[in-house]
Chains A and B, each alone.
Chain A
Amino acid sequence: MSENNGMFGASGSGDTSGFGGLARSAANFGSSERPYGSYFDEVTDELERAYPEFNSAIEKVVIDRGELTLHVKREKLFDTAMKLRDTQSLRFEVCLGVSGVHYPEDKNRELHAVYPLLSMTHNRRIRLEVSVPDSDPHLPSLVEVWAGNNWHERETWDMFGIIFDGHPGLTRILMPDDWPGHPQRKDYPLGGIPIEYKGATIPAPSERRSYR
């Protein structure tokens, strides 16, 4: 997904470690193979049964570290969420919000939204993940499905600039109303100023030489 060069975070400072030529890229997970194990087979089977468009809606199913992630196409997100909530055998009646993630290197899929779901009826957890391109950051709002997503979607808009279509009042929530930019995107600088201490200058956290 992302590719890093060398061992150190900052560039331009003298790297005498010899690691500068190393290139390492983070794994981009492919779809998992059946059987998924645990209750994951049952959940995907039930969703497939309840939702005829399953194959076109779900891009991939990832099982990692004992957690199930369904990667959903954004056009089908709302329908999938409805099925997950209302189907008797699934009953994901609680959504625990939205967590945005920004992958600038993932071309045309820069912005991801991650929805952890909880079924109290069956005591199960799964996760939905949707990606949108930076140039067209629109997602359907899930406030109609889970009212509690209201503030979480506002936060994700505020921090990542994902626009949730159909949200009852998509305004900034943590930052001031007139704030420019979306602070938790990777292209938004952390800020900070260099500090002088006993004659030496310590750069701001984002400028310090650090390991990758």
Chain B
Amino acid sequence: MTTQDSYASATDTTEGRVYSVTGGDWDSLVTEIGQTKEERVVVNMGPQHPSTHGVLRLVLELEGETITEARAGIGYLHTGIEKNTEYRTWTQGVTFVTRMDYLAPIFNETAYCLTLEKLLGITNDIPERASEIRVLMMELNRISSHMVALGTGALELGALSPMIFAFREREKVLDVFEMISGLRMNMAYVRPGGVAQDLPKGAIAKIRETVKELRHNFKDNEKLLVGNTIWMKRTQGIGYLDLAGCTTLGITGPVLRSTGMPWDLRKTEPYCGYENYEFDVITTDTCDVYGRFLIRMQELEQSLRIIEQACDKLEKSEGQPVMVADKKIAWPSQLSVGSDGMGNSLDHIREIMGTSMESLIHHFKLVTEGFRVPAGQAYVAIESPRGETGVHLVSDGGTRPYRVHFREPSFNNLQATSAMAEGGMIADVIGAVASIDPVMGGVDR
């Protein structure tokens, strides 16, 4: 009946005759498939690296160009971060969790530290200046993350220029990160009890300059995309998910706000002093890709507003501590940013090696042993660029976490792929997934 084709073998399954096509002679394949009555095509989109989202595999069942079933296959970037943190001290955990959602490292660190501080019972002892710096860094990070979402989202739909502009802006934000923490990504800058070090001299001036530039430059992408007929045709009414769908699927962030629900943890459960900042929660009521795009565009301006207010506060709190006063928790090492990144400050080295034996003992004990955290569990959630990043920490009273679990918004929100894509066209699945803005490092952890 058929000729054997090594690239397109046919097998009989309970579902009927299945042809696996991986290449080979198209003509003989078409002839062979033409003999069957049913025409159901299953396409594997991936596993691959579609621009910067990470490795994702979509299994799509098609009827013509219409998707009848969509399933996402994940796990390609699983690195076992949660398990690994159980074998390191609480402080070392920061360095691990920052690598989960690599586009929002500051959010991972802050969520982890806030939960740890809750376990330690020192939430109210965190210096105000430390919280102000955290807010500043988080909002800068929100901009850089949204820039990737917008840039790659547009790129995936075939618009190349927005990507160039978006990454140009992102680069400016990363320059600020580099100036403050010594690193552009995965900084481990937010630490239990505060932040690793105070802002360097001239940081505020540089941030104010950057804010001005960003506010001006954001217009480039706005002009390109907002109201653009092609862009709107590719995004309006696509990837529809309403409020009921969002709540049952546990969807948060811009996708939830695109249903008209003004749910933003910075407003509903303020942390890090967000109640002292003025900003608006952006919503649209279109439940589609275009609405989510507009939300991200407008959240950029809100983040700039918060950054400006944080700068004002930081100018007033100049010289105040950025680490909790309790020396049994505060990281002993004083760091400074040198030409080759962040490292130990020479003053601190001189003190522990040359002048104070007690300082050396203290440093050694805290760095090798770490601090103990009273037994119990805590859950703290913050508003990351993608939605609710929740951290569940369990301590057995030791120097290392008993269990670290990240409730990653990317992981949860990616479940909506099926709901958004099924019944739509194959070309629209790309836009739908891009509007979720999943970062696979966060999905797979």
Contacts from A to B (Cβ < 8 Å): 1-2, 4, 9, 24, 26-27, 29, 64-67, 69, 93-97, 99-102, 114, 116, 120, 123, 125, 127, 146-152, 155, 159, 172-176, 183-184, 190, 205-206, 210-212
Any A CB within 8 A of the CB of B192: no
Query: Shortest CB–CB separation between residue A144 and chain B, in angstroms?
Result: 10
Contact flag A99-B407 (CB < 8 Å), given A93-B247, A147-B249, A176-B75: yes
Residue on A nearest B399 in the bound complex, by CB = A211
Task: Give the CA-CA distance A146 to B251 in the complex, in Å.
Answer: 11
In the complex, what residues of A have CB within 8 A of residue B445's CB? 174
Alpha-carbon gap, A15 to B160, bound state (A)? 62
Assess the A114–B377 pair: CB atoms within 8 A. Answer: yes
Interface size classification for chain B: 35 or more
Q: Is B64 in contact with chain A by the CB < 8 A criterion?
A: no
Known: A65-B121, A101-B394. A146 touches B368 (CB 8 A): no
The answer to whether A97 touches B80, judged by C-beta atoms less than 8 angstroms apart, is no
Q: Is the pair B368, A174 in contact by a Cβ cutoff of 8 Å?
A: no
> Across the interface, which residues of B come within 8 angstroms of A174, CB to CB?
74-75, 78, 444-445
Q: Are A101's CB and B402's CB within 8 A?
A: yes
Task: Identify 30 residue pairs between A and B in the complex whose beta-carbon atoms are under 8 Å apart, listed by A's number.
Answer: A1-B396, A26-B375, A26-B396, A29-B376, A67-B378, A67-B379, A95-B250, A96-B381, A96-B407, A99-B403, A99-B407, A101-B394, A114-B377, A116-B379, A116-B381, A116-B390, A120-B263, A123-B269, A125-B381, A147-B415, A150-B415, A151-B411, A174-B444, A175-B75, A190-B87, A205-B84, A206-B87, A210-B399, A211-B369, A212-B400
Known: A65-B121, A190-B87. A116 touches B407 (CB 8 A): yes
- The verdict on B83 contacting chain A, using a C-beta distance below 8 Å, is yes
Beyond A67-B378, A211-B369: 8 further Cβ-contacts under 8 Å?
A67-B379, A69-B377, A99-B392, A99-B403, A116-B392, A148-B250, A155-B411, A190-B84
| A175–B78 touching, CB < 8 Å | yes
Min CB–CB distance B225 → chain A (angstroms): 30
Quick check: A212 and B399 within 8 Å, CB to CB? Answer: yes
Q: Which residues of A contact B398 (CB under 8 A)?
A: 4, 211-212
Determine if B234 is an interface residue (Cβ-Cβ < 8 Å). no
- Considering only residues 226-264 of chain B, those with a C-beta below 8 Å from chain A are 247-252, 261, 263
B198 close to A (CB within 8 Å)? no
Q: Does any Cβ of A come within 8 Å of B61's Cβ?
A: no
Question: Hey, which chain B residues are within 8 Å of A120, CB to CB?
Answer: 247, 261, 263
For the complex, give the distance between the alpha carbons of A99 and B403 in Å: 9
Partner of B248, one of A26, A27, A148, A184: A148
Q: Which of B83, B87, B252, B263 contacts A184 (CB 8 A)?
A: B83
Contact A147 B412 (CB under 8 A): no
Residues in B361-389 with C-beta less than 8 Å from chain A:
368-370, 375-379, 381, 388
Q: Complex formed: what's the CA distance from A120 to B262 in Å? A: 10
Partner of A152, one of B375, B394, B412, B444: B412
The answer to whether A94 touches B247 (Cβ under 8 A) is yes
Given A114-B377, A148-B415, answer yes or no on A96-B388 (Cβ-Cβ < 8 Å).
Answer: yes
Q: How far is the CA of A211 from the CA of B91 in the complex (A)?
A: 14
Chain A residues closer than 8 Å to B411, beta-carbon distance? 151, 155
**B305 sits at the interface (CB 8 A):** no
CB distance from A2 to the nearest CB of B (A): 5
Least Cβ–Cβ distance between A187 and chain B, in angstroms: 12
Complex Cα gap A132–B415 (Å): 27
Q: Closest chain A residue to B445 by CB distance?
A: A174
Chain A residues near B268 (CB-CB < 8 A) = 123
Q: Known contacts A96-B390, A116-B390, A150-B415; decide if A183 and B74 are in contact (CB<8 Å).
A: no
CB contacts (< 8 Å) of B396 on chain A: these are 1-2, 4, 26
Shortest Cβ distance from B290 into chain A, in angstroms?
A: 24
Residues of A with C-beta under 8 A to B69: none
Given A96-B381, A123-B268, A148-B250, A64 and B412 contact (CB-CB distance below 8 Å): no
Residues of chain B within 8 A of A151, CB atoms compared: 411-412, 414-415
When distances are taken between beta carbons in the complex, the residues of chain B under 8 Å from A114 are: 377, 392
